[in-house]
Amino acid sequence: MNKWYLSFVCLFSAPYATAALDLASGISLNTLNGEVVESVEDAVFTSGENQLVLDYTGYLSDKGKREFISTVPYIMVVNVPENADVDIDLLSRKYAKIEKNVDRELPIFSISVNGDDAEVVQEVLPPSQGALPYSDIPQLVKDYNQERGLVFDSGKIRSLKEELAAVQTGAVVGATVAADSTVQESENTLQLKLWYSRASEEERKAFQKWLIDQK
């Protein structure tokens, strides 16, 4: 494995920290928190939750032979504290095992933080339509996050849709902010709904007056 020492920079002037990342041979880090990573040494993490897109290209063992495989990208969230050692490898070096897991959209990576196995949910990054479904991974990550209402916030990846559902308790908070699951909502729309659902009656009246004044 090649070890690179990375700078973990937390938002809002958090302390500067260093961490070591080991990527096994053949594993590529495509994006980190939605941004393209040209080379591992250029990667910058936040201290906390980080969204990674990884894939593997190389040769694996297959009944005494070496078989080539190039996997689809997987998207996942890894919680990385300051001054951590992160090791990423394949779950197996057997071609049949990795091919089987990819076909079934099961995890293929093994991730450890400071020597301890990390429980990480790994999903196949949903492809686009067309002959080159993974030609624009950053856009696919953006679409993935927008569809799920995920936003990055100071080392925490928040689900605005889940937070909104939790505070609404099933009630419609008003026609202006009524949820419509059939429409793909922007991050700003979800933020507005969340803030509105949490607001007091007086705050909502003040907000509605402000809306009228903008016309």
Q: Give CA separation, 170 vs 59, 133, 160, 167, 173, in Å.
A: 51, 37, 15, 8, 9
> Cβ–Cβ contacts within 10 Å for residue 185, how many?
19
CA pair distance 215, 190, nearest whole angstrom: 22
Q: Are residues 20 and 53 in contact, defined by beta-carbon separation less than 8 angstroms?
A: no
CA pair distance 34, 29, nearest whole angstrom: 11
Q: Are residues 75 and 125 in contact, defined by beta-carbon separation less than 8 angstroms?
A: yes
In tens, the pLDDT along 38-71 reads 888 877 788 889 999 999 999 999 999 999 999 9
Torsion, CA 106, CA 109, CA 112, CA 115, rounded to 10 = 120
Q: Check residue 202 and give its pLDDT.
A: 79
CA pair distance 27, 30, nearest whole angstrom: 9
Q: Check residue 154 and give its pLDDT.
A: 60
CA pair distance 74, 71, nearest whole angstrom: 9
Q: Check residue 29 and give its pLDDT.
A: 95
For 99, what's the count of Cα atoms within 13 Å in the CB-facing half-sphere? Answer: 11
Would you give the DSSP letter of residue 40? G
Q: What's the sign of the alpha-carbon dihedral 207, 208, 209, 214?
A: positive
Residue 163: exposed, middle, or buried by beta-carbon count in 10 A (0-12, 13-18, 19+)? Answer: middle
- Find, among 76, 77, 130, 135, the residue nearest to 106 by Cα: 76
Q: Check residue 10 and give its pLDDT.
A: 36
Residue 195 has phi, psi (to 5 degrees) of: -65, -45
Q: Check residue 155 and give its pLDDT.
A: 67
Counting as low any pLDDT under 50, the low residues of the chain are: 3-17, 171-183
Distance of CA 118 to the CA centre of its chain: 15
